[in-house]
Amino acid sequence: MAVFFTFSFLWHQLFHLQLAVDAYRGDSFRPTMYDSWAPFYIWRMPWKAMNGWICLCALAVAALLVFYYKRISTWRWAVVIPSILWLGFSILFAASDHPDRIFGAYAHYLTFANDLIYFSSPADIWQHYLINQPKLDVHGQHYPPGYLLLLMVFGIKIFRVVTYLAGVLTIFITWKLTHEMYNRKTAIAASFFIALVPGFLIYPTIDPVALATCCAVCCFYSLHRLTKQSSFLFTALFSLGSFVFLLFSFAASLWVLFAAIFFCFFRKNVNWHLFLTQLALALVMVLLLFTGLYLITGFNMYECFIGSMHRNKAINTFNVFDTFPRFLFRITQAFLAIILSCLPLFVFSGYTFCKWWKSLMLTLLIAFVTGNIFGETERVFVFLFPFAAIATAHYLTKNNFNIGIALGFSIFFSAFFEVLFHHFA
C-alpha cells in the first residue's frame, strides 16, 4: 500500500510538471484535467469535515468487521449486512463529492440525460436512435439505447433508485450463486467482498454500470443452473438477461468470452450434451428477441454496433507521439490500467488453482483485446467484480484466512480512495 500510494503521488507530480513545462492544452479525447487522472483516476483534494467523518465511519466499520465477522457470518440473514453497507457507503461517498451523485443527473448520468432532448418518447428512441446517435454525447455515440430508454421511462430520480436496487440484487445473487457452488461460509464472504470492492462501491453513483453487473451475475447464475439440469425457465432467464445486457453495453461480448472460457476449460462435472443444447436454444431465443425488436420498432442492433464501433474510434483519435515524455506517461497509464483491470479476471486462479502467471497472461490477452488504451478499464470490467469476489472468498476460506481482516481492509481501502483521492473508478 505504501509503495502504491507513493508511486501514485510521484507519478502525478511528474505528470503535472510535464504539463506545465510543455504548456499542454489537451487533446481531442480529454482536457488537461482529465488526462491528469491516469493511471489511477485520482487527484488530491482539500480535506473537508464530511470527508473526515466518513473516514472515521469506515474505520469503525472496518474494526467491527475484523472483530465480529465470524459472529455476523453465523446469522441467518447475514447477506443483508453487506447490502446495507454497500448502500450506506455508496451514498456517503457520493455525498462527500456532490449531492447530485445520489439522485441527480451527474457525471455519466448527466451525459445520458442530456441526450433525451433528441427524443420525444420511448417509441421515438427505438425508431430514431440510429439516426440521432451521431449527435449524442460522448457515451451515447458508442452505447446501445438501454440506459437512455430507462431514463426516458422512469426519469432521473427513479432511474437512480433502479440502479441502487440492481446493486443490492447483485449482492444477493452473488451470495446465492456462491452458496450453490461452494458453501454458506464462502457465500457470506463473497457477498461482503462484492459489496466492499472500491469499483462496485463507488462507480454506480457515477455511471449506471450496476445494471450491467446485475445482468452479468444473473446470466452466470442461469448458466450455472443449466450445467445441473434442463430448465426452460433458466434458459429463458439467460436469454433475457443477455438481451438486456446487450442493450446496456456492448461490453457484454467480453462477458460472453469470459463465461465461455470458464465453462469450456474449468468447470467439472458438466453434462455437456444437455448444457450445449440449452445454450443453443438460448442463443436462438436471443436472436429471436432482437429480430422481434427490429420487426416491431425498426431498431437494428447490428447497425448500432457497427456505427458505435466507428464512432468510438473517431472519439479516441489523438496523437500519442506528440512529445516523447507525454508518450511515456500515456504508455505508463495504459500498462498500469490494464494490469489493474487484470484483478477481476484472477477469478481463474481462484477457481482452478492454476499458476498465477497463466491467469495474468489470459487476463492481459482479454484486456488488450478490449483496446482500453485510455485506462478506463475498471468501468468496463466492473461486471466481472462479482466473480472476483467469489474467487477471493473461495481462496481465503479454503486457506482459513481471517476474512474479517480482509473485509476491514477492503472498506477502509475504498474510503481512502474515494474520500482522500476522489477516486472515480
Nearest CA-CA partner of 38 in 17, 4, 18, 11:
11
In this structure, the number of other CB atoms found within 10 A of the CB of residue 174 comes to: 30
* pLDDT tens-digit map of 196-214: 877 788 888 988 988 989 9
Give the SS3 label for residue 144: coil
Cell numbers standing for residue 117: 432532448
The boundaries of the domain holding residue 211 are 2-421
Q: pTM (2 decimals)?
A: 0.83
List, in order, residues 6 or more apart from 392 with CB less than 8 Å away: 189, 190, 193, 350, 406
Check if the beta carbon of residue 280 is closer than 8 Å to that of residue 110: no
Check if the beta carbon of residue 201 is closer than 8 Å to that of residue 86: yes
pLDDT of residue 355: 58
pLDDT of residue 36: 42
In this structure, the number of other CB atoms found within 10 A of the CB of residue 280 comes to: 11
Check residue 228 and report its DSSP letter: T
Cα(232)–Cα(110) distance, integer angstroms: 39
Nearest CA-CA partner of 178 in 339, 385, 417, 386:
386
* pLDDT tens-digit map of 24-42: 555 444 444 444 444 444 4
Where the chain has pLDDT below 70, the residues are 1-9, 11-12, 15-16, 18-48, 256-258, 260-267, 313-381, 417, 420-425
How many domains would you assign to the chain?
Answer: 1
List, in order, residues 6 or more apart from 45 with CB less than 8 Å away: 420, 421, 422
